[in-house]
Amino acid sequence: MALSKEENIQYSRHLILDKIGVSGQEKLKEAKVLIIGAGGLGCPILQYLTAAGVGTIAVVDHDVVEQSNLQRQILFTHEDIGKPKAEVAVKRLAQLNPYINLQPIVEKLTAENALNLFEYYDIIVDGTDNFPTRYLINDAAIITSKPVVFGSIFKFDGQVSVFNYESGPSYRCLFPNPPKFNTVPNCSEIGVLGILPGIIGCLQANEVIKIICNLEGILSGKLLTFSALSLNQTIFRFKKNKEKKITSLEKNYEFFCNIPTSISEITFSELKTLDKPYALLDVRTDIEREHFNIGGLHIPLAEIYNHLAEIPTKNPLIVYCKSGIRSKVAIQILKEKGFKNTLINLKNGILAVPLDN
């Protein structure tokens, strides 16, 4: 796929670079990459792959921009708050490089759509922050024979690897089983250094370019760990588990990852029609609460054990968070602590609530 005159100018530093050159840039132009998540990791991945000239880039994200995102998600501004991340990202990236095809996919990655989405793209990039989606990405990539460029962040530490490259080791080879329920907090609960996803996301973008251009040193069968505090960087090697065969997707990845699923749920539309007495419990962080809420008692999930006596025990209790996962954890905790009133999860959390409700 030949480069235009304008593209030759745009990518001139690549064209004179040993091991990239014209042939490498043409490979980049022909490549199709699917990025899952436009958050802390997705933003730098999107920016650098766009700047590098990857010809087709799609981003899957059903979330909207929140003020708390701006500390690390550098594609967004205050003017974008409340808007779909995928659409905002693509609009901004088009200003950086008008010579590529950018596609926003404003929907959640699920077992129902993953295989069809993955089929069209050459490389899948995992910029997610939860275990059910990571295992779903892994399995769908194996079934569709796509490599996955993986990244994860935790407070001050990050990890990068490449899974299923040329049928090499996968995420399940490194992490065969998900962690036990409620043992690994996410960034919303414990925080993350804002610079860290930029570093890890750039390393992921680097692996994507290496794969496309057939460069050496691809992190297949290797896990790179990075500490933003010590700046220590270590590479651990791991082997393919030849006994584990993935031929179909799990029926329910939340259940597989030990997230409680036998919990009553209610949509926001259904909630608005309720006329019987009920109580609301918001288990998000203080910052999330201040940005937007639908009322009710506020107890962050990390503090729930210390405030059990404050939680209503007579009327039905509807628990909500950002996406419906932390609220499920809270309900499970309350059940274990002996709460007998009806406990209901707000399905898909605040993400499903219109800002003008």
CA dihedral 132, 333, 317, 344 (to 10 degrees): 30
162 CB-contact burial (10 Å; exposed 0-12 / middle 13-18 / buried 19+)? buried
Extended strands (E) in the chain: 32-36, 56-60, 101-105, 123-126, 148-154, 157-163, 222-227, 233-237, 264-266, 279-282, 297-298, 317-320, 343-346
Query: How, if at all, do strands 264-266 and 343-346 pair?
Result: parallel
Contact 89, 62 (CB under 8 A): no
Q: Which two tokens stand for residue 89?
A: 């990202």
Angstrom distances, CA of residue 196 to CA of 25, 171, 202: 28, 21, 10
User: Is 321 part of the annotated catalytic residue set?
Assistant: yes
Residue 213 annotated as catalytic: no
For the CA atoms of 50, 53, 56, 61, the dihedral, rounded to the nearest 10 degrees, stands at: -10
354 token code pair: 């219109």
H or E element that contains 264: strand 264-266
Written as six digits, the tokens of 294 are 């639908």
Helix 42-52 with 85-96: angle, nearest 10 deg:
30
Q: Are strands 343-346 and 317-320 parallel, antiparallel or unpaired?
A: parallel
**Strand-pair partners of 195:** none
Cα separation, 137 vs 257, whole angstroms: 14
Residue type, 8: N
21: alpha, beta or left? (left if phi > 0; alpha if psi -120 to 50): left
Q: Which amino acid is at 274?
A: L
> Would you name the residues annotated as active-site residues?
187, 321
